[in-house]
Chains A and B, each alone.
Chain A
Amino acid sequence: MSSNDRVRVRGLSIFRPIIYGNTAVALTQKERDALPSPDHTHRWTVAVRSAASVPGSDQVGGADDLSYFIKRVTFKLHDTYPTPTRNIDKPPFEVTETGWGEFEIIIRITFITEAAEKTMTLLHHLKLHPWTVTGEPEIPPLEVALKAGPVHSWQYDEIVFNDPFQNFLNLLTQHPPTPLPKVKKKPVPFHLANPGSFEESKGGTPEFWTGMIAEEAERLEEARKKVITEQERLRAELIEKEQEYEKLKKQVAEGAGAAA
């Protein structure tokens, strides 16, 4: 390693798009009977992957092997699981388990030593039961759940490295991330921050695509415009009311004067 490598490249930040989350499928009675703990109703996989999906695959994300900058991913499961802390040191960074309940999974990402960064902690709510329009959790009967197919809950995120070391930067630039597809071919992953995408998220394995970024930006922009018009309206009303208030105050004062 030359001394040049351990120089931080100032004024530069580099990020890598990742997704984390889980898929879950309901188990049939037969499958459940085969399990060591028959009260488990679902088989789920929690994972950290690259954002783009492999074309034609049934997996959400994972087009790139993230091990070029991630050394280890630790999934901290519910304490009721045997060895609840699962360290995954090589790709795929995922844990498959069976269970009956939803809980928060702590995901710790350890970067390779070249990065010289601390571990990063993410939180994911394990989703077993299908999404609903209202957002209220509903537990459908087994047949319905089986028919509905796998449940997907994925969060897109970007890991940002500020002023990376030269050698780490080189490592990263040797692995440019697969860009998200420019056209939508599959359903979009449902997200609570966008309840409107419920219909769009139906029908098979979802996939992240670039349009989602613009779509969200548009929604935010629209909301902001709406809020601002609402504020304008409120302000106009407020000003009107303030004038009314002033007049009333004067009236009251006059009335008091007259009474006295």
Chain B
Amino acid sequence: MAGVSLADIRSALSIPDSTEGAGPSQPKKQAQTTRKPEGISRELYSLIGPSQPFLAAQVAKPRLKQKPKFATGGTAATKWELRTVKNPARTDGLALKHWAKASEDPETESPFAKYNIQNPVYTYSQDEYSRFLDTSNRAATPKDANPDFEKQWTKDWTDYLFRLYNDYDGRWPVIWDRAEFPPEANFDLEDLKHRYYSVCRKLIRNRPWPGDEASKTALINSLQFDIEREKMRKRYVVSLESRTSEQMAEEDALYLEVRRLEQTERRFKRDREDLMRTLAGMDSGLPYIVEDNGGPLGILAESSSRGPTKKGRKNPALDGTDSPSTPSGPVSSTPTHKRPQNTKSAAYDAQHCIIRTELSSNTPATKAAHQPAYARSSKIPYLKNNSMQTKILQSFAEMGLSPSRLVMPTKENCAQLEGLLEAVTAMLETKKHLDKVDYDIQVLKKQLGMKTGEGDGDGEGSVKREETMDVDNPQDTETDGNEGRGQSVMSVRSVRSRKKSRAMSTSSVETAATSVSTRKRQKRG
């Protein structure tokens, strides 16, 4: 109260406020004490004052765990219930139960379902195999790490390897353990891996890729396998593990010996230096003997040579140029120097529709090499393949596109169209192979049907038997080794062909239907 009145008097008498000079006044102090941080006692605060806020923070009362709130005040306990877990990884329909919060959606999949990642399955057709993967009759290129080895692989073996890979989910030691290749093959684990990964890489490289180039190279790089390196690594590990205690002792002894020699050498150098300085009053001028950095002692040599090299570099440093930065200077400064220019010129290029290409140094600068002006649309590739042309046109029409025209033939779009054209051609190529195999199957089936029809005599009986046949009892069939869907479909087909009334099997009906529809489309177009 008194303080307040004092201040009032001061202001009334227009006496300058002398609080700063006259020491702490009552009201000021009060204002400060109100800002006293929590967790610090008043006495202590008055001692240390407001000047040590960091201290106050340290002294702050440790936060204790909050008292648990039990379900007494209004909130009911969370309900849990025993529920079956939905796990998409299970195919056998086994239902396991879990305790889950009742508030959760019972339809959600198990949160662990996302960890059930399947390895992508790579398969290849006969055509792809003979074109890209068959190494048996190809001349060994110098690039192949081990051409003799690659030559060994047949399609059967490769198929077998891929089947094993899928069966054992890419667990290589298991695959290698279970694999039963003929004894002459004698494959190592690395050989199997090498073959598998090289096949995958070739497939990816040769197939049209839906994404961009970067993701393709990333995937290919992830499938990289260097067999030589891997074998060397394993040899190295084996040799490291198989050292005898004598060898280890010898190694240690050698190591100590080398250290000793190095120390002696250093001492000798120092002595020589001192001697030269005292005698001639100058540096020896002799070059330091640079230790050999090669071999297993490289680290040691480097650490010992670091001293003298630093010394030697001191001289240019005195000249004002910072020696370590001199070589790296222009390197580091160019990109920073260039960047603003680049963005500027990019905007300029975009405005003026300029496209710059890297000049290869060996481009002949003659007039003949000049590419005349062209309309962008003229760079759309022609349809060369005559037999495929109509089919390509058809597939493009189905997609609402044209193989030869673009609405906006920009550079990127022309490239896109080219990629699409490639993809379509590859697709049609596959279709062609499929149709051919389909036809071959029909022929074989007819052969088989005729043969068994002649052999059986009792056609109707066998039909009935096969119709009731289940996938589960394969003993009932005339063929061994067939399983699953393929077999049941096949036997139904062979039944049909046997009946003769319906010689056309389902697949041929399909192809017939497609050919009808294509004919229609052709008529329309």
Contact = CB atoms under 8 A, between A and B. Distances in A.
Contacts of B354: 12-14, 173
A11 B363 CA distance: 10
Nearest to A191: B407
Interface in B386-413: 395, 399-402, 405-413
A241 B437 contact: yes
A14 B365 CA distance: 19
Contact of B208 (A160, A208, A228): A228
Interface stretch (A39-47, A76-84, A89-97, A245-253): A245-253
A247 B402 CA distance: 41
B90 interface: no
B424 interface: yes
B445 A248 contact: yes
Contact of B210 (A12, A229, A251): A229
A183 interface: no
A70 to B, nearest CB: 11
B408 A156 contact: yes
A68 interface: no
A227 B371 CA distance: 34
A160 B437 contact: no
B514 to A, nearest CB: 12
18 contacts: A14-B354, A17-B353, A117-B372, A161-B373, A176-B352, A177-B353, A197-B407, A213-B408, A225-B210, A227-B208, A234-B434, A239-B123, A242-B125, A242-B437, A247-B482, A251-B448, A252-B444, A255-B451
Contact of B373 (A8, A160, A230, A234): A160
B126 interface: yes
Contacts of A216: 406-408, 413
Contacts of B440: 245
A240 B486 contact: yes
Interface in B216-232: none
Contacts of B408: 156, 208, 212-213, 216
A217 B412 contact: yes
Given A10-B363, A226-B399, A238-B434, A156 B424 contact: no
A172 B357 CA distance: 18
B94 interface: no
B376 A157 contact: yes
A194 B417 CA distance: 13
B60 interface: no
B444 A245 contact: yes
Interface string A179-203: 1000000000101111111000000
Interface of A: 8, 10-17, 111, 115, 117-118, 120, 122, 155-163, 172-173, 176-177, 179, 189, 191-197, 208, 212-213, 216-217, 219-221, 223-231, 234-245, 247-249, 251-252, 255, 259
- The 8 A-B pairs of least Cβ separation, nearest first, read A11-B359, A158-B376, A193-B402, A231-B427, A220-B416, A191-B407, A117-B373, A248-B444
B377 A155 contact: yes
B402 to A, nearest CB: 4
Given A11-B359, A227-B427, A244-B486, 4 more contacts: A159-B374, A162-B372, A217-B412, A220-B420
A252 B377 contact: no
B439 to A, nearest CB: 10
B143 interface: no
A227 B420 contact: yes
Contacts of B355: 12-15
B14 interface: no
B344 to A, nearest CB: 14
Nearest to B363: A10
Contacts of A120: 373-375
B431 A11 contact: no
A226 B419 CA distance: 13
A251 B493 CA distance: 15
Contact of B371 (A162, A220, A237): A162
Contacts of B351: 176, 179
A11 B361 CA distance: 11
Majority secondary structure, A binding face: helix
Interface in B425-456: 426-427, 430-431, 433-434, 437-438, 440-441, 444-445, 447-448, 451-452, 455
B376 A160 contact: yes
B434 A223 contact: no
B430 A235 contact: yes
A247 B481 contact: yes
B352 A223 contact: no
A255 B482 contact: no
A193 B373 contact: no
Contacts of B124: 235, 239
A224 B373 contact: no
A231 B430 CA distance: 7
B123 A235 contact: yes
Contact of B375 (A11, A157, A193, A231): A157
A238 B437 contact: yes
A244 B490 contact: yes
Given A193-B405, A227-B395, A241 B441 contact: yes
B311 interface: no
Q: Which of A117, A247, A251 has the most CB of B within 10 A?
A: A251
A212 B355 CA distance: 21
B373 A111 contact: yes
B479 interface: yes
Given A115-B373, A158-B409, A162-B370, A221 B416 contact: yes
Contacts of B434: 234, 237-238, 241
A230 B391 CA distance: 15
B401 A193 contact: yes
A117 B375 CA distance: 12
A215 B207 CA distance: 26
B373 A220 contact: no
Contacts of A225: 210
A14 B357 CA distance: 11
A231 B423 contact: yes
B393 to A, nearest CB: 12
Nearest to B417: A220
Contacts of B370: 8, 162-163
Contacts of A193: 401-402, 405-407
